[in-house]
Amino acid sequence: MTDVTVILNAIDAGDPHAASQLLPLVYDELRKLAAAKMAGENPNHTLSATALVHEAYLRLVGDQNFENRGHFFAAAAEAMRRILIDRARQRSALKHGGGRQRVPLGDLAQALQTSDGLLAVDEALERLGQVDAGKAELVKLRFFGGLTMPEAAAALGVSLATAERWWTFAKAWLFAELSNSE
């Protein structure tokens, strides 16, 4: 058994402290996976959250079924967020030597594929988290963790309908926040 399955077992068994041990392990695995991907010779390699997180799950957990696998995905989403944001910071700093530019409205969807876009979303997400942590977590799971809506709903322990409603709201909230439209 990997340490991750040990921890998931412990969570299933009701250990309240076990979940906090997941992040470092998952982060480490994802970081290694990401590094391996990026170290490839093909310059067009892409870091895809969906692929990485699911690969990490397979590597660390395998095909076992855990009641509380949601904890894994929560940890994975947070880890992925850190990895992507760290990278984005480095690149962004190189480009601008510091401060960020406002993202032009309309290009927002594409802008998310850039470092600045990503950093902007992360900052906005942090503000959303202060207003409504559940919705921010949902966005993190879907956007950084690459989960589908049903997976994310399961991880959060809410119904699919609730998750859909939260999503609609969070998406509009973040879009409004980023486009700064009045």
Binding residues for other proteins (CB under 8 A): 3, 6, 17, 20-21, 23-25, 27-28, 31-32, 35, 38-39, 43-50, 80-84, 86-91, 93-95, 97-98, 105-106, 108-109, 112-115, 118, 121, 139, 142-146, 165, 168-169, 171-176, 179, 181-182
Which one-letter amino acid corresponds to residue 83? I
Buried/exposed 137-158: b ≥16 CB within 10 Å, e otherwise: bbbbbbbbbbbeeebbbbbbeb
Q: Give 14's contacts (C-beta < 8 A, 6+ positions apart).
A: none
The CB-of-144 to other proteins minimum distance in angstroms stands at 5
Q: Give 143's contacts (C-beta < 8 A, 6+ positions apart).
A: 49, 121
Q: Which CB sits closer to other proteins, 69 or 88?
A: 88
The CB-of-67 to other proteins minimum distance in angstroms stands at 21
Q: Which CB sits closer to other proteins, 64 or 101?
A: 101
Residue 83 CA to residue 119 CA, distance in Å, equals 12
Q: Which CB sits closer to other proteins, 27 or 68?
A: 27
